Amino acid sequence: MSQKTPGRSLAAKRRRPTRRGVLAAGVGAAAAAALPLQTASAAVDWQPKFFTPEQGAVLQVVCDLILPKTSTPSATEAGVHEYIDEALSVAEADEQLAFLGGLAWLDDRARGSSFVALADAEQVSLLEEISDERSPTAETRTGAAFFSDLKERVLFGYYTSKTGRQVLGKPEGVRREKLKGC
């Protein structure tokens, strides 16, 4: 399979609207409405089934760090965090533990703060440490394994969602008369 890289600077990835305050403080709908992202209401209203509200907040941030809102919707706008919550709720115990361990690793690395309370750039650089663009070190091994698991779940959850299928040009109800061929 392809090993192509995007070939763009990391700086491009840092451009992302903030919603950190909402996630950290759980502010109300009025403040959320002022934010550029649609995820705010989900962040406030969402009651995770498997995760604690705090874990759910970290999950939403990392989902949108991987697939932020661009010309197409973000991961949380596509409900990826809800899919991951559902999938983890019925997963084997070791799978659950590994995932929770990954979320905890992020908070742990926030050094006295919590991951969601970090500035955007700090969140990005922490994720870069465990990204598949780097070889894991002894220190980042747990985080790197989590990143890889998380990324797979985010991509699968995104592109199997209603929103993701629309992004792919596969909206509901479209059928074809003929195949195009070559």
Partner 1 sequence: MTTKVYDAIVVGSGATGGWSAKVMTEAGMEVLMLEAGEPFDESKDYREHTLPHDLPLRGRPDPRNELLQRRPVQTYCYACTEINADFFIDDIDNPYTTAPGKPFNWIQGNKVGGRSLMWARQSYRMSDYDFKAASRDGYGMDWPISYSQLEPYYDRVEEYIGVSGKREGLDVLPDGKFLPPMPFSCGEQKLADTLKDQFGVPMTIGRTAVLTESRKGRLACHYCGPCHYGCRTRSYFNSPQTTLKDCEATGRFTLVPNAMVEKVTTDAENLADGVTYFDKTTDERHEVRAKVVVLCASTLASTRILLNSADGGLANDSDVLGRYVMDHIYATGVGGRLPERDGVRPQNANRPNGVYVPRFQNLADPKTHNKDYLRGYGYQGGEGLTAWEHALYLKGFGAAFKDAIPDGNTARLSLGGFGEILPRADNRVVLDDEVVDKWGVPVLRMQCTLGPNELAMVDDMLQRGAEFLEAAGVKDIQVADEPAPMGSGIHEVGTARMGDDPKTSYLNEFQQSHEINNLFVMDGASYVSIGCVNPTLTMMSLALRSTEYLVEAAKRGDLA
Instruction: Name the residues that contact partner 1, by CB under 8 A.
Output: 1-10, 12-16, 65-68, 70, 72, 83, 86-87, 90, 124, 127, 131-133, 151-152, 155-162, 164-165, 168-170, 172, 175-177, 179-182
- CA triple 26-51-13, angle to 5 deg: 65
For partner 1, give the closer residue by CB, 27 or 167: 167
Task: Please provide residue 70's backbone torsions phi and psi, each rounded to the nearest 5 degrees.
Answer: -130, -135
Nearest approach, Cβ of residue 152 and partner 1 (Å): 6
Which residue, 30 or 94, has its beta carbon nearer to partner 1? 94
Number of residues written out for the chain: 182
Nearest approach, Cβ of residue 73 and partner 1 (Å): 10
- Rounded Cα distance between 182 and 173, Å, is 24
Report, in Å, the least distance between residue 8 CB and partner 1.
4
Structure tokens at 52: 């604690």
Count of alpha carbons within 13 Å of 179, Cβ hemisphere only?
2
